[in-house]
Structure formats: C-alpha cells, structure tokens
Structure 1
C-alpha cells in the first residue's frame, strides 16, 4: 500500500508496480538437511537418473546455490508454476562466467541419491555458508533505486534527493515499497554498484530470475548481492540455460 505522504505521486508510482516473490531463507543446523525435491539454498539437488551432474570448466562438480521447486511458489505472471529450477555455480565463482541454470519441466521419482563426490573442498569459497530452507510470499514493489527500470522523479527531485526531504519514519516507509534488496524471484533488482544492464543495450529488457542477497549466513564479497537474469523471450520459451549471472559488492 502506498503511504499517505506519497498520495500526490500515487498515479506515477502505480505505473511502476511489479509483483515479486520474496524468499525467506532459514539457515539449517549442521546436522539438518532437506529432502531431494525441496526448495533450498545449497544442499543435495534433484537429479534424474541418467543425467550428468553439472561440471565446471575444470571438470569439477559445480555447487548447487539454489533449487526452486515451483510448486512451492505463488504464481507469478510469465514464470513457470511447476517444475524444478536449479542454479549451479563453479566453486571458483568470482568471475561470473562458469555456471549453469537447469530447468526440469517434468519431475520423476527415478532419481540419483549418491552425491559422495560433492566433497567439502568444493564449498570452501562458497558465499552461501550452509543449507537454507526456503519459504515464498508474493509481494508488490513500486521500484528499486538501483534498477534501470525505475527512473521516477518526485517533482523536481530524484529518489535520493527526495529521500533527504523526508522524516526518518517516512524514509523507512518509502524504502519498504521502493526496495530491490533481499532474496527474490522476479520484481526489481538490487545492485551495490550499478545496474549492469544499463551498459549493454542487448540486456536492457532482461528480467530478474533469481536474486540472492547477503544475509545472516550468506555473504557475497563485502555485503554484495548475486542476480540471475533472463531475456523475456527465453523466459517465455523456458530456455533457462540462456540465463546470465552477475554479482557485485561494496
């Protein structure tokens, strides 16, 4: 809901309204683990029998950063509502060029269960420190100060200058509705530096597929954030292997 002090900007803000699926990530204790089919950060992936486990450029097993079982998530326009979506990244993840996004449209009970090859050394540099249970809530966003799609002005002021005119409580309310931070599917993206899509005309239309933010047991560099993006046509046609990965930090 748009706060009362923003009433004069309501019509403008409504044009920026987007749905997003916010992810609540709960760290598990060391002795705890989730089931193969569950949504999770880290942990054991769903992998049908006969499918090769994703490998990086050095032929080493990749790390499952995220698995989203889409039956767990609220419906989001344009995004699939069934199947399992997985995000694998090399243990040498810093350069952002060694990852795989895998979509399983049909789920089988014939699955692999031996993951003994996922040795502890693969996780030594992981920005996600432990397995997380995921819960999902659909919310409304009206922008993100860092997302190129949000360019609204508040009379003669940009977002940052307008924020300086507000009381502390008003600024907090504004941040609740114009805030790209957090773990999420879809909606507005957050960057600690700048929106990388702004520097490449071929990427300007691309949508946020998944965002993993710094959290209690997650840290990308110095309080950074990781994003996976996808072209709208690739999303429509479920070509998730064409997704691309970016991360930055302070």
Structure 2
C-alpha cells in the first residue's frame, strides 16, 4: 500500500484498519444464458444456477417471469474468510426491469445438504427471458484471490483513527492543517479509496448511497460492472448482511444496492 506523503506518519494507524478480503477476477466464457455450459455449482456471473428439484425457481415481483442469476458464489471455492460461510451457495437474482432491477432482487442461500440433491437441468423455461438486454453480457466465471483491504472515504464506515470515527474527516482535518484546498484533499481521499474499488467478497464496502456501518454489517459482495464484458450496467452491485446473521449463514436480511457511476 503506497500512501500519500501526508498519510505516511499515520501508516501504523491506517494498517490497523486492515481487513481480509477476497478479490473476484471475472473471466468471460463467451456464452450467454441458454448456451451456458459451466458447472451449475461454480461461482459465476449470470448463467444457469444450481436449483434443487424440490426448490422453486424465483419469479419476479412485477414481471412474474423467471428471474435471472446475477451472481452465484460457492463458498467452498473461496479462500477462508473469518466470519463467512465455508460451504454452500449464495445466489442473487434480479428481474430485468430498468426501474426495479435491484429493488426487487432476491438473495438466497443453498446449504451443502441441499447441494447434494438432484438439480433441475432443463432450463428451457428461461428462453422467455433470454432476450432481456441485461443478459447481453455473457456468463463470467469467478476466480478468487486473497487481498488486504483498507478503509475508504466512500461510505459512512465506523472506524477509529487519530481521534476520528470517519476516515474522510481525518483526511480533511489533516489537509486543512497543512493548508491544502478541497481538490488536494479529494486527491488524498482518492489515493486511499482506490484500494477498495474492486470486485470482492469481504473487506470494506465502497458503496456511498446508503449509510453503511462496519460495526453492524458485513460486505458479502461488491461487483464492479466495469469488469463485465458487454456490461449493461455502469456501476457496482453491493450485498450487505448483518454480521450476526452471516455467522449463521442467514441471508434473509441481506441488503442489495446498485449504484451507478
């Protein structure tokens, strides 16, 4: 981590804010929904999900049509993250309406026991949504690598640094004490924020539209659509879960937010 010169004296304090995260590397398969031949249980963006035969495929709240898989994470494929599941599938579904695409998103968790059940393999019913513009992006496989992640000024993270509970306030006071103007202060903030602006599981959320407390919520997914081939989105998807729920693989209170750039 390369710090701005004004932050170097506070390097030890900043490093105390370190969290473990898992970076998501996306690789396009070049195949779209109906042609997706990747494993049903692998971690992916779009494509065909794992659905046990005894479980209903999710339908859209408004469209009443089958929803499409936005992301699927197989926790067995992730490097270990403290407080996160080590097995099971996390799935995020959405319906392809411009106004409600993530407002009506559904998050569900499939346990390892459920993964042992026979899955549905006939996805012909998805042909009715195959022409949705949001599915013009092909299926992408997720690869994972462990990363060190540091706090950012993008959200309302609750932190402790040099007498401040907000990283931006700390940087702003530091900049003003050194006679810097607003643009220079923003440059310092950006130099920190760049270390958390990537697709990942865990670490610090870079979402800005909704208040986010690091004390209460955990970042389960941050998906940067700039990493997606032929992306129909221009922002990032965030999934936050209460920490006490996450420890029990409970995603019923998950919050899904999509923020445009």
Who is 1:62 aligned against? 67
Q: Render the CA deviation track for 1:10-67: whole Å, top value 9, x for unaligned.
A: 1220232111111000111236631111111011111112111111113211111111
Who is 1:44 aligned against? 48
Q: Decide whether the 8 Å contact of 1:92 with 1:125 is kept in 2.
A: no
Q: Decide whether the 8 Å contact of 2:75 with 2:85 is kept in 1.
A: yes
Q: Render the CA deviation track for 1:179-204: whole Å, top value 9, x for unaligned.
A: 3322111111223xx34125xx8x97
Match of 2:175 among 157, 166, 175: 157
Bigger drift between 51-60 and 89-98 goes to: 89-98
Pair 1:105 & 2:111 matched = yes
Q: C-alpha displacement at 1:147, in angstroms?
A: 2.3
Who is 2:236 aligned against? 225
Q: 1:195 to 1:128 in 2, by over 3 A?
A: farther
Q: What is the TM-score when the length of structure 1 is the normalising length? A: 0.82
Structure 2 unaligned regions, length at least 5: 160-165, 177-181
Structure with more helix by fraction: 2
Number of residues of Structure 1 aligned to a counterpart in Structure 2:
237
Distance 1:225 1:11 in 2: 30
Who is 2:211 aligned against? 197
Distance 2:222 2:52 in 1: 26
Distance 2:248 2:230 in 1: 32
Q: Decide whether the 8 Å contact of 1:197 with 1:204 is kept in 2.
A: no
Structure 1 unaligned regions, length at least 5: none
- What secondary structure, in the 3-state scheme, does the structure 2 residue paired with 1:9 have? helix
Q: 1:38 to 1:93 in 2, by over 3 A?
A: farther
Bigger drift between 9-18 and 63-72 goes to: 9-18
Bigger drift between 29-38 and 130-139 goes to: 29-38
Pair 1:235 & 2:228 matched = no
Q: Decide whether the 8 Å contact of 2:52 with 2:118 is kept in 1.
A: yes
Q: 1:123 to 1:91 in 2, by over 3 A?
A: farther
Runs of 4+ in structure 1 displaced over 6 angstroms?
Answer: none
Distance 1:143 1:4 in 2: 15
Bigger drift between 99-108 and 210-219 goes to: 210-219
Distance 2:37 2:98 in 1: 24
Distance 2:122 2:92 in 1: 19
Match of 2:97 among 71, 92, 103: 92
Who is 1:29 aligned against? 30
| Two-structure CA RMSD over aligned residues (Å) | 2.9
Who is 2:219 aligned against? 208
- What secondary structure, in the 3-state scheme, does the structure 1 residue paired with 2:211 have? helix
Q: C-alpha displacement at 1:213, in angstroms?
A: 0.9
Q: Render the CA deviation track for 1:144-186: whole Å, top value 9, x for unaligned.
A: 23122162224622896346479xxxx7xx45x7533221111
Distance 1:220 1:148 in 2: 28
Who is 2:195 aligned against? 179
